[in-house]
């Protein structure tokens, strides 16, 4: 990964509006990982990531920044809620489970990459198997044609997608289901306890050709991949590139004497060694947490960052505050990102032959209503737009559907005012409620 911090911020700008301070902080943290990877082994051991705390109301982009960041560099990434964990001695998820989840994510990432590498070989094998099944199924259609020519035609039709929905019966590996021995703990696959000493069970299943193709490609890819190399690479990637996003950190910021059954401070002390750096045992091997990047986030409405225990604060040296979204931000969110809400609704209703358009004054009005609602009631950030848009397009969404010709629907300010009248009236009344 050789993106500069400026390039990283530019990539994040495609999906997240505003929050420049937070973007700069995560971009520098990510670039520092690249810089560290270019140093000698002795120097690398001395340099640890500078973890980040993001403070800001819900719906302003905290999770999205971390998620897009991980996606940008194909790093193992998991999001956990701090409130999920309980102090040692209580029943519940232990904090080490976040590292095990990260390793599982890393294994899945590496496996997907390896499967893409062997996909061509696996598809060739799958095509042969499915053509063989189709050849037996359509034997009556062959007539005097040689088997080779008939199979070649079947292969052409298979690749052209003509048999996608044809039902066939194939033999698949019967994978035993995993069992969770302890609630919230590690899963154990009873069928794999004895390793490869016992032959894999197989069963016959009916499915479409498209499903069968995917099933066989997956099975053949598994055979072509070296599990040991996948595990080794996944563990290394989790240790060196892993990102753990701890949400709702503010909910455990407080003292044990505040009346909770499980002390918040106790959970913080359990998280501390993970963030400081320790070795966690997983079913794939030991994982060092020293170089994992931790990004914590919380609204901090009631508590403050200073309410976290000093040791934990010290492990999160970078503290960035995210701003509440303004009307101008809402206008940009509705129009600029690659996954803008207006384009999402346009694509969804396009399935039912509705060509949805928004005028500039409609966008302005939607943004204004959303900003005012956040100001007069609970501030839920960009999520407010989903509430407003669902309410606005309810009639269109309900009446759409069926074999109608394409209809163009233009949403203007008048339409917004008419359809959000009740919402606006409720908003205006709240101004006078003490």
Q: What is the mean pLDDT of residues 274-279?
A: 91
The domains of the chain are located at 5-104+235-321, 119-224, 327-426
Largest Cα separation within the chain, whole Å, is 88
Kindly tell me the sign of the dihedral angle through the C-alpha atoms of 283, 285, 290, 295. Answer: negative
Mean pLDDT, rounded, for 133-155:
81
Query: What distance in Å separates the CA atoms of residue 157 and residue 131, rounded to the nearest whole number?
Result: 10
Task: Identify which has the larger pLDDT, 421 or 23.
Answer: 23
Could you give the CA distance from residue 200 to residue 353 in angstroms, rounded to a whole number?
Answer: 49
User: Residue range 66-84: average pLDDT?
Assistant: 86
Rounded percentage of the chain residues whose pLDDT exceeds 90: 26
Q: How confident is the model at residue 261 (pLDDT cuts 50, 70, 90)?
A: very low
Model confidence at 400: pLDDT above 70? yes
Confidence of residue 428 (pLDDT cuts 50, 70, 90): low
Are 72 and 26 spatial neighbours (Cβ–Cβ below 8 Å)? no
The mean per-residue pLDDT over the stretch 180-193 comes to 51
Residue range 112-121, pLDDT digits in tens = 999 888 888 8
**pLDDT band (50, 70, 90) for residue 102:** very high
**Structure tokens, 172:** 């698949």
Residue 432 pLDDT: 46
Determine the length of the chain. Answer: 434
Q: What are 219's two structure tokens? A: 């099975």
pLDDT per residue over 292-308, tens digit each? 999 999 988 888 888 88
Any idea which residue has 């950190």 for tokens? Answer: 249
Asked whether residue 200 carries a pLDDT value surpassing 70, the answer given is no
Stronger pLDDT, 377 or 428, i.e. the higher one: 377
Query: What was the pLDDT predicted at 433?
Result: 47
Is residue 183 predicted with pLDDT exceeding 50?
no
**Comparing 232-236, 347-351, 421-425, which segment has the lowest mean pLDDT?**
421-425
pLDDT at residue 188, as a whole number: 55
* Residue 81 structure tokens: 């809620």
Q: Is residue 194 very low, low, confident or very high in pLDDT (cuts 50, 70, 90)?
A: low
Task: Please give the Cα distance from 118 to 112 (Å, whole number).
Answer: 10
Asked if 357 and 411 count as a contact pair (C-beta separation under 8 A), the reply is yes
What is the pLDDT confidence band of residue 33, given thresholds at 50, 70 and 90? confident
Residue-level pLDDT at 136: 82
- Residue 13 predicted with pLDDT over 80: yes
CA angle (74, 78, 81) in 5-degree steps: 155
Per residue in 246-258, pLDDT (tens digit) is 998 988 887 544 5
How far is residue 213's CA from residue 204's CA, in Å, rounded to a whole number?
A: 15
Mean pLDDT of 183-209: 62
Q: Which residues contact 117 (CB under 8 A, 6 or more apart)?
A: none
14 has pLDDT over 70 = yes
Q: Name the pLDDT band for 87 (thresholds 50, 70, 90).
A: low
The more confidently predicted of residues 11 and 402 is: 11
Pairwise CA distance, residues 128 & 158, whole Å: 10
pLDDT band at 143; cut points 50, 70, 90: confident
Strand partners, 411: 358
- Taking the C-alpha atoms of residue 306 and residue 316, their distance in angstroms, rounded to an integer, is 11
Distance CA 130, CA 134 (A): 6
pLDDT score of 3: 83
Task: Give the residue ranges of DSSP H helices in 38-118.
Answer: 41-46, 62-73, 97-117
- In this predicted structure, what is the pLDDT of residue 260? 47
CA distance 91 to 123: 47
**Residue 148: which residues within 8 A CB-CB, separation 6 or more?**
none
Is the dihedral angle over the CA atoms 57, 58, 59, 64 positive or is it negative? positive
Look at 192-196, 392-396, 418-422 and tell me which has the smallest mean pLDDT: 192-196
Q: What are the pLDDT digits (tens) for 349-392?
A: 999 889 999 999 999 999 999 998 888 878 888 888 998 999 89
Burial of 110: CB neighbours in 10 Å, binned 0-12, 13-18, 19+: buried
| pLDDT in the model for residue 189 | 56
For 311-328, what is each residue's pLDDT tens digit? 999 999 999 999 888 899
Quick one: what percent of the chain has pLDDT higher than 70?
Answer: 87
DSSP-derived 3-state class of residue 145: coil
The topology under which CATH files domain 327-426 is Helicase, Ruva Protein; domain 3 (1.10.8)
Tell me which residue of 298, 310, 286, 228 sits closest to 52, measured CA to CA. Answer: 298
Residue 305 to residue 429: CA distance in whole angstroms: 35
- Average pLDDT over all residues of the chain: 83
What pLDDT was estimated at residue 199? 62
Contacts of 426 (CB under 8 A, 6+ apart): none
Which pLDDT band holds residue 275 (cuts at 50, 70, 90)? very high
Looking at residue 425, its pLDDT comes to 67
For domain 5-104+235-321, the CATH class is alpha beta
């Amino acid at each position: 990964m050789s993106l500069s911090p400026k390039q990283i911020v530019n990539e994040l700008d495609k999906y997240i509006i505003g929050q420049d301070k937070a973007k700069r902080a995560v971009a520098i943290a990510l670039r520092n990982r690249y810089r560290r990877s270019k140093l000698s082994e002795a120097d690398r051991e001395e340099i640890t990531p500078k973890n980040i705390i993001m403070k800001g109301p819900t719906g302003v982009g905290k999770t999205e920044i971390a998620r897009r960041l991980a996606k940008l560099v194909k790093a193992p990434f998991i999001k956990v809620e701090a409130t999920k964990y309980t102090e040692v001695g209580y029943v519940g998820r232990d904090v080490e489970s976040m590292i095990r989840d990260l390793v599982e994510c890393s294994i899945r990432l590496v496996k997907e990459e390896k499967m893409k590498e062997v996909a061509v070989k696996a598809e060739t094998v799958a095509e042969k198997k499915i053509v063989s099944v189709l050849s037996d199924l359509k034997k009556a259609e062959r007539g005097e044609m040689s088997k080779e020519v008939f199979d070649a035609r079947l292969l052409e039709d298979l690749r052209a997608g003509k048999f996608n929905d044809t039902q066939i019966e194939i033999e698949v590996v019967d994978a035993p289901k995993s069992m969770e021995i302890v609630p919230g703990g590690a899963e154990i696959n009873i069928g794999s306890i004895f390793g490869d000493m016992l032959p894999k069970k197989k069963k016959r299943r009916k499915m479409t050709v498209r499903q069968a193709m995917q099933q066989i490609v997956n099975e053949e890819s598994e055979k072509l991949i070296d599990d040991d190399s996948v595990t080794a690479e996944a563990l290394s990637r989790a240790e060196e590139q892993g990102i753990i996003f701890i949400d709702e950190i503010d909910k455990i910021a407080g003292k044990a004497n505040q009346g909770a059954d499980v002390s918040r401070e106790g959970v913080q002390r359990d998280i501390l060694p993970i963030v400081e750096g320790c070795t966690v045992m997983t079913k794939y091997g030991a994982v060092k947490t020293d170089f994992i990047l931790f990004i914590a986030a919380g609204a901090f409405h009631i508590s403050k960052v200073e309410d976290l225990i000093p040791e934990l604060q010290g492990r999160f040296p970078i503290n960035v505050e995210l701003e509440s979204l303004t009307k101008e931000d809402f206008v940009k969110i509705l129009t600029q990102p690659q996954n803008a809400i207006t384009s999402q609704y346009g694509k969804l209703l396009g399935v039912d032959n509705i060509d949805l358009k928004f005028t500039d004054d409609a966008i302005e009005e939607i943004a204004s209503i959303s900003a005012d609602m956040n100001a007069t009631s609970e501030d839920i950030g960009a999520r407010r737009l989903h509430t407003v848009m669902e309410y606005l397009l309810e009639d269109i969404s309900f009446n759409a559907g069926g074999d109608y010709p394409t209809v163009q629907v233009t949403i203007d300010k008048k339409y917004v005012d008419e359809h959000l009248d009740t919402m606006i009236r409720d908003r205006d009344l709240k101004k006078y409620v003490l």
